[in-house]
């Protein structure tokens, strides 16, 4: 009997970008759930308890770092790996994301191979 695919939540305020990452994740045989903002993402993550979250930082309603802080304070969500995918690529941005509890930090644009590797590392931990 085949195993059920694991869930991954993609959070990005740009629908085209979210769709692109969702398609990449789908090609890796995961079930994908998308959120186009931080506030809705928190509800979706709490509801789905996914195997991993792909999280943008710059969003208009609530930053990805705020979502990450929310997850790390919730005992039910604190262990879920978070892969930040952001256009913010300065060393100080990466440090902030990693210090907040991200599993990895990828700078846009992200290749399929880099995304696959980050997801595999995050889920295997």
pLDDT score recorded for residue 83: 98
Does residue 2 belong to any structural domain of this protein?
Answer: no
Which residue segment(s) compose the domain that 107 sits in?
7-124
1 lies in a domain?
Answer: no
State percent of the chain over pLDDT 70.
98
**pLDDT of the residue at 2:** 64
Residue 87 phi/psi, 5-degree rounding, is: -80, -15
Q: What is the mean pLDDT of residues 3-25?
A: 95
For residue range 43-92, list pLDDT tens digits in order.
Answer: 999 999 999 999 999 999 999 999 999 999 999 999 999 999 999 999 99
Indicate the average pLDDT of the chain. Answer: 96
Asked whether the predicted pLDDT for residue 100 surpasses 70, the reply is yes
User: Domain containing 96 — which CATH number?
Assistant: 3.40.50.2300
Percentage helix, strand, coil for the chain under 3-state DSSP, each rounded to 5: 45, 20, 35
Q: How far is CA 47 from CA 19, 57, 73, 96, in A?
A: 21, 21, 16, 26
pTM (2 d.p.): 0.96
85, 108 in Cβ contact below 8 A?
A: yes
Q: CA triplet 5, 113, 107: central angle to 5 degrees? A: 105
């Amino acid at each position: 009997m085949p195993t059920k695919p694991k869930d991954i939540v993609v959070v990005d305020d740009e629908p085209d970008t979210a769709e692109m990452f969702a398609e990449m994740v789908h090609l890796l045989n995961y079930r994908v759930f998308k959120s186009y903002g931080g506030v809705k993402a928190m509800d979706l993550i709490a509801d789905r308890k996914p195997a991993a979250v792909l999280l943008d930082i710059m969003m208009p309603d609530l930053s990805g770092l705020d979502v990450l802080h929310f997850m790390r304070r919730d005992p039910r969500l604190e262990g879920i790996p978070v892969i930040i995918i952001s256009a913010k690529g300065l060393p100080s941005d990466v440090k902030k994301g990693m210090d907040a509890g991200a599993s990895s930090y990828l700078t846009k644009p992200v290749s399929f191979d880099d995304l696959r590797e980050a997801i595999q590392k995050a889920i295997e931990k």
